């Protein structure tokens, strides 16, 4: 029987008087890939940031690994060790080497031995084709390389769930494929549980077990990936896919 890893019930998010998310409800099982799709400004990034405590929500519940999350900075700090997140802006520390960036969380937050983490980090770097850049600084890397390092940094914490927020949005087209291939490999070979915000429709079709289609902070469709891409249930979703040349 599949194990539910995350459940969201009736999540509402406001910025002042403006409601950004309206009663968002969904669940994801261990090993599944959920993609958040929709036009710009639909609430996808806001939602994914709520799942990692980077945005406060007004009402609703988030249940992770069977435990209701009680929002507080202390609780979120613990949960972020299990819910990794990769942003479109990389967010690497410029004063640290690639290895320094990767070691920081596991050694300082999780208090794991540096020698153990360093060995795992080198294995991860080799996997993404960047082992020779372990002693380089972020300024010496291309955008695609920085994004792969950001993924490795998140994986070094050994998360149970990975969140990807438009990780290819800042990359040149020729760099996009390499980053997406790494994410796809995590899904197919590692059985990693992931929630992905993306505008790459061909990639989403290949990887999505489930799709949430959002507009104006509301879920318009919630279905399996094959159904969404082959037979969307709403006119809005059909028009969206057509606008993306899909």
pLDDT tens per residue across span 103-123:
999 999 999 999 999 999 999
* Confidence (pLDDT) at 90: 79
- For 15, residues 6+ apart whose C-beta sits below 8 A from its C-beta are none
C-alpha to C-alpha distance for 10 and 217, rounded to whole angstroms: 12
- What is the pTM for the complete model shown? 0.94
Beta-strand pair 59-64/4-15: antiparallel
What end-to-end distance do the CA atoms of the chain give, in Å? 34
* Confidence (pLDDT) at 89: 82
CA distances 203 to 164, 225, 229, Å, are 13, 11, 11
- Bridge partners of 196, per DSSP, are 35, 164
pLDDT in tens, 58-70: 999 999 999 999 9
pLDDT in tens, 186-212: 998 899 999 999 999 999 999 999 999
Assigned CATH for 4-82+160-243? 3.40.50.300
> CATH 3.40.50.300 in the chain, residues?
4-82+160-243
């Amino acid at each position: 029987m599949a194990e539910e890893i995350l459940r969201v019930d009736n999540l509402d998010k406001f910025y002042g008087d403006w409601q950004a998310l309206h009663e968002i409800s969904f669940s994801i099982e261990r090993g599944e890939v959920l993609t958040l799709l929709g036009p710009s400004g639909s609430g996808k990034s806001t939602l994914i940031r709520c799942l990692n405590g980077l945005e406060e929500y007004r009402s609703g519940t988030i249940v992770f690994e069977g435990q209701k999350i009680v929002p507080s900075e202390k609780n979120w700090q613990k949960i972020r060790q299990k819910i990794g997140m990769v942003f479109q802006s990389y967010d690497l520390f410029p004063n640290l080497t690639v290895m320094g960036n990767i070691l920081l969380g596991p050694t300082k937050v999780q208090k794991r031995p540096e020698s153990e983490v360093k060995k795992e980090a080198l294995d991860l770097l080799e996997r993404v084709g960047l082992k020779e850049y372990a002693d380089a600084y972020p300024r010496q890397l291309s955008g695609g390389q920085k994004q792969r390092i950001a993924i490795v940094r998140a994986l070094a914490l050994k998360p149970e769930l990975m969140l990807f927020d438009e990780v290819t949005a800042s990359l040149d087209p020729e760099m996009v494929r390499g980053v997406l291939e790494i994410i796809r490999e995590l899904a197919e070979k590692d059985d990693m549980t992931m929630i992905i915000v993306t505008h790459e429709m061909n990639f989403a079709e290949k990887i999505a077990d489930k799709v949430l289609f959002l507009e104006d902070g509301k879920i318009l469709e919630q279905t399996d990936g094959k159904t969404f891409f082959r037979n969307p249930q709403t006119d809005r979703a059909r028009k969206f896919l057509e606008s993306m040349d899909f």
